[in-house]
Amino acid sequence: MPELSDVEGFKRYANRHVRGARVESVHVSDEQVLEGTTPQGLGRALHGRTLLDHRRRGKWLLGATDGPTVLFNFGMTGYLRFSSRPDQQEEHDRVRFGLDRGHLTYGSQRKLGRVALVTQGSAIEEVTGDLGPDADEVGVQELAELLRDRRGHLKSTLMNQSAIAGLGNELSDEILWRARLHPDRRAGDLSDEELHDLHGAMSEVLAESKRHGRIPEGPGWLESVRGESDPRCPRCGAPVDVITSAGRTAYVCSKEQR
DNA sequence: CGTGTTGTTCAGTT
DNA sequence: TAACTGAACAACAC
């Protein structure tokens, strides 16, 4: 499930393989993933362009070119694949960029992801919607201000892209577990110490997850028990409750997260 | 064959 | 008016 850390991985992948490449063709096999453009429009806008730096904003990947910027959103199941030689077309490939050095393919099983174009000079937020500061760049003071006046639950606030950008279901679970905070705590009710813990947990989880390009599953990670039939807290061994919070499945240590 | 799954949007509510 | 909640959506595994 692409969240901040996964998109960070896509960013490095794109910069490693396609930075500096020239676009020779664009083939769209499913128009549904295009937003605000058409297969013809996308092709015309990108043909002959050079791909420049890819960067990340929240869960969005922004591919700069010497023309328009290409925006990728990965939804739940999106992926990016580069191949220097002709390769097998996969069932869920949706957009294929033919390059002078191979091709870059965007795909997604469920078509919740999107590909959009932003022309030079217009704002990316017209496509992405309002985004709060990136979660990996938020300082403890900024986090405190961000949460102070919020009436909603912690988990829903952390996943609210217009409050903080980049966190999804799994990262928010991981962060709250590490901070020993219950997802249904009111966001605006945290003590200074809890805010400090939350910020520390967020920084650690994101730094490590970004390095891996996904949430690690090793010891010390809640992720390692996700999906198990009888999940136990990797820290204390107590049962992990699987509850619904913010309309999502949340994994919560029954002992440590209050 | 119904249920569960999650990122985003949107309708509806506080 | 802004913040908030929950349902809908997509497609597939189970």
pLDDT digits (tens, 9 = 90+) for A159-183: 999 999 999 999 999 999 999 999 9
Which residues put CB within 7 Å of chain B, the nucleic strand?
A 1-3, 58-60, 73, 75-76, 112, 128-129, 159, 161, 168-170, 242, 247-249
The nucleotide closest to A248 (CA, C1' atoms): B6
pLDDT grade for A91, boundaries at 50, 70 and 90: confident
- The proportion of chain A whose per-residue pLDDT surpasses 90, expressed as a percent, equals 76
The nucleotide closest to A78 (CA, C1' atoms): B7
Q: Cα(A198)–Cα(A35) distance, rounded to whole angstroms?
A: 36
Task: Give the CA-to-C1' distance from A159 to B7 in angstroms.
Answer: 10
pLDDT grade for A27, boundaries at 50, 70 and 90: very high
The burial of A210, by beta-carbon neighbours within 10 Å (0-12 exposed, 13-18 middle, 19 or more buried), is given as buried
For the segment A199-226, what is each residue's pLDDT rounded down to a tens digit?
A: 999 999 999 999 999 999 888 999 999 8
Q: Report how far apart, in Å, the C-alpha atoms of A246 and of each of A23, A130, A139, A197, A221 are.
A: 41, 20, 24, 21, 22
Average pLDDT over residues A189-201: 95
Task: Give the CA-to-C1' distance from A159 to B13 in angstroms.
Answer: 20
The nucleotide closest to A58 (CA, C1' atoms): B7
The nucleotide closest to A30 (CA, C1' atoms): C10
Helices (DSSP H) in A21-162: which residue ranges? 39-46, 125-128, 140-148, 154-159
Average pLDDT over residues A225-237: 91
Which residues put CB within 7 Å of chain C, the nucleic strand?
A 32, 76, 91-92, 109-112, 149-153, 156-157, 160, 163, 187-188, 246-247
Least confident window among A48-57, A197-206, A240-249: A240-249
Give strand C nucleotides closer than 7 A to any protein Cβ.
3-12
The nucleotide closest to A109 (CA, C1' atoms): C11
Whether residue A101 contacts residue A84, with contact meaning beta carbons closer than 8 Å, is answered with yes
Give strand B nucleotides closer than 7 A to any protein Cβ.
4-9
E strands, chain A, where?
A: 23-28, 34-35, 51-57, 60-65, 69-73, 78-83, 93-99, 102-108, 114-118, 240-245, 248-253
pTM (2 d.p.): 0.94
Task: Give the CA-to-C1' distance from A248 to C6 in angstroms.
Answer: 11
Identify the pLDDT of residue A246: 87
Task: Give the CA-to-C1' distance from A150 to B13 in angstroms.
Answer: 17
Mean pLDDT taken over chain A: 92
The nucleotide closest to A149 (CA, C1' atoms): C3
Residue A132, CB-side half-sphere exposure with 13 Å CA sphere? 21
